[in-house]
Chains A and B, each alone.
Chain A
Amino acid sequence: MSKLIKSGGYQQDVFAPVGDDAPLPEGAVLVSLARFKKDRDTLLARNTPVGVRLQSSENPESLGADVNHFALIALEFPKFRDGRAFSWARMLRTRLAYTGEIRAVGDFLYDQVNYQHRVGFDAWEVPDHFTLEMFNRALSEMTNVYQPSTDGRKTIRELRASPRPS
């Protein structure tokens, strides 16, 4: 079983994953990009939240102007070594100005959660043994950062330039 970590706690996952050929259930659904393209008009006409699950080879720009119709964009890590989703998340938050949920799904490690958090992920589908305590620890291992990213954290360069408590 997996669970969802979001906004600093466990959350109920309201999105029902729907296979490419399965009938659409009532309520919020999570579909593949192919399914979305096939049933776009039907999905957008429903008055319920739609999520799309992108594989790491699927560039979010291919969502085009539809991007802000989604309540959830799940970015898949097929293998934890495949780091493309780090750039996709950043692109969603900057160029595409996407403000909905970006969820990390698939095969990723504890050691990647902090990087995901920095580039714009705000929800994590984690295995059962992955606790909230681990999640919070992952985010706190490194106090400061050298690079600006979509998390808006002050960089070490900015901290150096600001007045320090004496």
Chain B
Amino acid sequence: MLNTLVKAVAPNMYRYDEFDAQFVGERVNQFAGQVARRLSGELTEDQFKPLRLMNGLYLQLHAYMLRIAVPYGTLSSKQMRKLAHIARTYDKNFGHFTTRTNLQFNWIKLVDVPKILRELADVEMHCIQTSGNCVRNVTSDQFAGATDEELEDPRPLAEIIRQWSSLHPEFVFLARKFKIAVGATEKDRAALQWHDMAVQIVKNDKGRTGYKVMAGGGMGRTPYVAHVMSEFVEREDILAYLEAVLRVYNQDSRRDNIHKQRIKILINTIGPEEMRRRVQREFEELKRMGTLQLPREELDRIAAYFAAPKFETGLSDSIPDAGPDFANWVKTNIHKHKAPGYAIATITLKTPGQVPGDATAEQMEVIADLMDQFSLGEVRVTHEQNLVLPHVRKQDLPAIYARLKELDFASPNAGLITDIIACPGLDYCDLANARSIPIAQKLAKRFEDLDRQHQIGELKIKISGCINACGHHHAGHIGILGVDKKGVEFYQLVLGGSGAEDASVGTIMGPGFGEHEIGDAVERVVDLYLAERKDGERFLDTYRRIGMEKFKAAAYQEAVAA
């Protein structure tokens, strides 16, 4: 076993103290008690459901699914090895990285859950609030702490939010789920504006660092991009402000129609102006009370856990030559690091034909080894269902690439048309109307040719198997939505969405395509783009310039003629 040869490196990330450890330990016991009450029949399934969801346990089509929180996407190698162990021992030897940067196991037995939770607690992990109508796992930029684009590392604030939102007594029975993201760059890699609430670290005109707060974004059947709640919240006020937003939501949201209970519906019903007024009132009261004020020392104390590692100096800042395949991988999967001689490497879990986001126990273990050998013990999970080695020496890139190639995780396709987001769909999920995974696999195969992928350039395809939009189809440059028509799966095309700083909601093209037509339809859309594009435009730019009609005519051409 390779991993026995590699010494685990402890990365600079949050570590539990005795209070966190006790909290998670007691929470495991509490949930074990709930499972026992369900197994004994004391709790009905109806009563157990919100309790198990609040601990990341879903009942899917075939089995229980357990979703493990990966706070702001940061994992240590020790944690990665534990996930591999759980996959091997309690599941079918693989796990699935999700768009909320979590990891989920699809074949879990209810009786095993308390044991799994105890194993997770051993490596400072949990499943608290990875599902249910509460504040979910806080996500962030996968390049946090490694990119020179950020004002500061967003993860300390994300960790503070994680603690504040953990079993918050007022907000564990919200009207619906509530997702929070934190970013610190102009270029948005965390889909901030698609969140129920998002915090962007900004500087005001006096040069002071603080937080811009947005709220009311969300996917689902009524997609909205978030509204700005406040352009600038002072550092010490941030928890009071976030609590104010949640309080208004908890008090004022509808509770009579599950499809109209997200905060986006509240804000777009009463209007952003009225929402800001209500939030401001709660905020001023909370600020006066003072109990939620965040002292500078606390922020510094948490930030110290995430201190930049000691980067080696005097390294060569050029990437070695290691052949054309390697050069292609560098072109798409390597991002600039803040330290000279270092790079940020994206591992796409999207080799054409693969299930997007899946990794086997063996693959997780090799990645853990790579983390220890080459990335200071750390990896990040991205909302696009990829992994990132945040701190690698440029000189090590050829060795990393060679190992990834053995794993079949070396596809040079980050951000390209085959780097597809897909929800689990009808293969696993009992909410789904259609399969997503096979559509993603077939599209990736169809566009596998690398020259063509590079010719097409940045193009984000996102696939959801139902209107709940877990595959982010509203935010896809090309979105695909699976629908069910009288027991047959159809796929609608959605064009022009974006999950980046230029966030936009995609537009539905028209009636769906059959399972065997959707690939051709996507191809015709892409071909039209290539024919129409001007001076290096991305697909999204061309779409925004020329509009839906031409794409629609192209996509339906054959379908109309038939």
Which of A's residues lie within 8 Å of B, judged by CB?
A: 56-57, 59, 80-84, 86-88, 90-91, 94-95, 109, 111-112, 114-116, 118-119, 141-149, 156-157, 159-160
Contacts and interface: CB of A to CB of B under 8 A. Distances in A.
26 contacts: A57-B255, A80-B173, A81-B173, A83-B172, A83-B173, A83-B174, A83-B175, A83-B250, A84-B250, A86-B173, A90-B170, A91-B251, A94-B289, A114-B169, A115-B167, A116-B169, A118-B169, A141-B26, A141-B29, A146-B163, A146-B164, A147-B164, A148-B292, A156-B20, A156-B23, A160-B17
A149 B170 contact: yes
B173 A82 contact: yes
A160 B33 CA distance: 28
Interface in B10-26: 17, 19-20, 22-23, 26
A148 B169 contact: no
Nearest to B49: A81
A111 B19 contact: no
B285 A95 contact: yes
B118 to A, nearest CB: 16
Interface in B366-420: none
Contacts of A146: 23, 163-164, 166-168
A156 B162 CA distance: 13
A116 B173 CA distance: 11
A56 B51 CA distance: 21
Rank and list the top 3 A-B pairs by shortest CB-CB distance, nearest first: A83-B173, A148-B291, A118-B169
B147 to A, nearest CB: 29
Nearest to A147: B168
Interface string B279-298: 00000010001011000001
A119 B47 contact: no
Interface in B163-218: 163-164, 166-175
Contacts of B168: 146-147
Contacts of A91: 251
Contacts of A94: 285, 289
Interface string B501-535: 00000000000000000000000000000000000
Given A147-B164, A157-B298, A84 B255 contact: yes
A101 to B, nearest CB: 19
Nearest to B17: A160
Contacts of A159: 19
Nearest to A78: B255
A118 B27 CA distance: 17
A144 B250 contact: no
A81 B26 contact: no
A156 B163 contact: yes
A147 B163 CA distance: 8
Given A87-B251, A156-B163, 15 more contacts: A80-B47, A83-B133, A83-B171, A86-B173, A90-B170, A90-B247, A112-B173, A114-B169, A141-B33, A144-B19, A147-B164, A149-B169, A149-B170, A156-B19, A157-B163
Contacts of B298: 157
B50 interface: yes
Contacts, number: 95
A82 B261 CA distance: 11
B26 A115 contact: no
Main SS at interface, chain B: helix
A90 B47 CA distance: 25
Of the listed residues A56, A82, A86, A109, the one surrounded by the most CB atoms of chain B closer than 10 A to its CB is: A86
Contacts of A95: 285
Contacts of A109: 47, 51
A142 B26 CA distance: 6
A68 to B, nearest CB: 18
B34 interface: yes
B557 interface: no
Nearest to B132: A81
Contacts of A90: 170, 247
B165 to A, nearest CB: 8
Contacts of B289: 94
B169 A115 contact: yes
Given A148-B291, A157-B298, A87 B170 contact: yes
A86 B167 CA distance: 13
B30 interface: yes
Contacts of A148: 291-292
Nearest to B34: A111
A146 B29 CA distance: 18
Contact of A143 (B26, B50, B170): B26
A94 B47 CA distance: 31
Interface in B134-174: 163-164, 166-174
A116 B363 CA distance: 45
A86 B19 contact: no
B163 A86 contact: no
A166 to B, nearest CB: 13
A143 to B, nearest CB: 6
A157 B29 CA distance: 23
Nearest to B286: A94
A77 B167 CA distance: 19
Nearest to A77: B173
A141 B479 CA distance: 45
A72 B163 CA distance: 34
Contact of B50 (A56, A80, A116, A144): A80
B169 A119 contact: yes
B169 A160 contact: no
A40 B168 CA distance: 36
B247 A87 contact: yes
Contacts of B47: 80, 109
A144 B174 contact: no
A3 B133 CA distance: 30
B292 A81 contact: no
